[in-house]
Amino acid sequence: MPAIDIRPAVVEDAGLILRFITELAEYERAAHEVVATEPDIRALIAGAGPSRALVCSVDGVEAGFAVYFFNYSTWQGRKGLYLEDLYVSPAHRGVGAGRALLQQLARIALAQGCGRFEWSVLDWNEPAHRFYASIGAWPMKEWVRYRLAGPALVEFAGAAPGPQGRSTPPEMPNDS
């Protein structure tokens, strides 16, 4: 059995994580959608945002990663853990690395008092569906995920484009 190690990502992992993100996007047929940069990933790892990352190694070789954040369930009155991305390189699949990443995330969720641990998976990714079912997870077929992004988000918010094409939200009233 190979040695599997999972650790919190460090700033020096930014290039590695970006490479894994790109490989994941290629697998998901969405490489053209990756606009993240190494500075973006460094900011994630340095704690500048709400997300956190883990790196998984198999026999001393970096094999995959997970990015997650905490959300909140109004129904449970508790926070939850949301897995944004999980990826294990093809050369390291089938040895337990993905399962080990998910188990580490489950332990983090429990340690943080989370009531649930959720993620999304593409409808056509049957190997992932089978894997997740094998660990006791189930699809939430009654829920449909919606998204506002890019120009639609800017238009809906009534915002004007800012520097680098990012939107500038309308000014909020000062409550003081």
Query: pLDDT tens digits, residue range 55-103?
Result: 999 999 999 999 999 999 999 999 999 999 999 999 999 999 999 999 9
Q: What does the H/E/C string look like for 104-157?
A: HHHHHHHHCCCCCEEECCCCCCHHHHHHHHHCCCCCCCCCCCCCCCHHHHHHHH
Dihedral of the CA atoms 104, 99, 51, 155 (nearest 10)? -150
Amino acid letter, 147: R
| Nearest to 13, CA basis, from 43, 37, 45 | 45
Three-class DSSP category at 175: coil
As a whole number, mean pLDDT of residues 37-44 equals 94
Give yes or no for residue 173 having a pLDDT over 50. no
Distance in angstroms between the alpha carbons of the first and the last residue of the chain: 61
Average pLDDT, the chain: 91
**pLDDT for the residue numbered 5:** 98
Give yes or no for residue 161 having a pLDDT over 70. no
Give yes or no for residue 121 having a pLDDT over 60. yes
Polymer length of the chain: 176
**pLDDT for the residue numbered 96:** 96
CA atoms within 13 A on the CB side of 16: 20
Give the C-alpha separation, 23 to 64, whole Å.
Answer: 10
Residues carrying an active site annotation: 132
Give the C-alpha separation, 145 to 106, whole Å.
Answer: 23
**Using 50, 70 and 90 to split pLDDT, how confident is the model at 166?**
low
Give the C-alpha separation, 81 to 59, whole Å.
Answer: 28
